[in-house]
């Protein structure tokens, strides 16, 4: 998972540089593309952190993690049924 986080750091740095270059040369599309790459890199880093926290939680407290996953699955199922209009069954 470290490679994913490292790739995110690199992608964020490249995006920031691209955004700066676009700002300096006055190219709005280059600036926007750089900002998007930077945000993608930051998102990749946050994802890597979330996976690490989830792994640690599973190792340290497996039953609590299972209960949380079951509750989340139940809540998603209820929301999905509500969205489809299947609540009257």
46 found inside a domain = yes
Quick check: 12 and 48 in contact, CB under 8 A?
A: no
79 found inside a domain = no
Domain count, the chain: 1
Quick check: 9 and 38 in contact, CB under 8 A?
A: no
The Cα–Cα gap between 80 and 89 comes to 14
With pLDDT > 90 as the criterion, what percentage of the chain qualifies?
Answer: 74
Q: How confident is the model at residue 3 (pLDDT cuts 50, 70, 90)?
A: confident
9 found inside a domain = yes
Q: Read off the pLDDT of residues 60-75 as tens digits, 9 standing for 90 and up.
A: 999 998 999 999 999 9
pLDDT over 70 at 77, yes or no: yes
36 found inside a domain = yes
56 found inside a domain = yes
pLDDT of residue 88: 56
Parent domain of 21: 2-61
Region 27-46 average pLDDT: 94
């Amino acid at each position: 998972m470290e490679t994913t986080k490292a790739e995110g750091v690199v992608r964020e740095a490249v995006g920031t540089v691209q955004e700066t270059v676009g700002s300096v040369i006055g190219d709005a599309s280059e600036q926007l593309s750089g900002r998007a790459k930077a945000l993608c890199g930051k998102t990749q880093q946050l994802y890597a952190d979330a996976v690490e926290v989830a792994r640690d939680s599973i190792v340290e407290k497996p039953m609590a993690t299972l209960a949380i996953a079951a509750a989340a699955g139940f809540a998603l199922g209820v929301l999905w049924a509500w969205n489809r209009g299947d609540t009257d069954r």
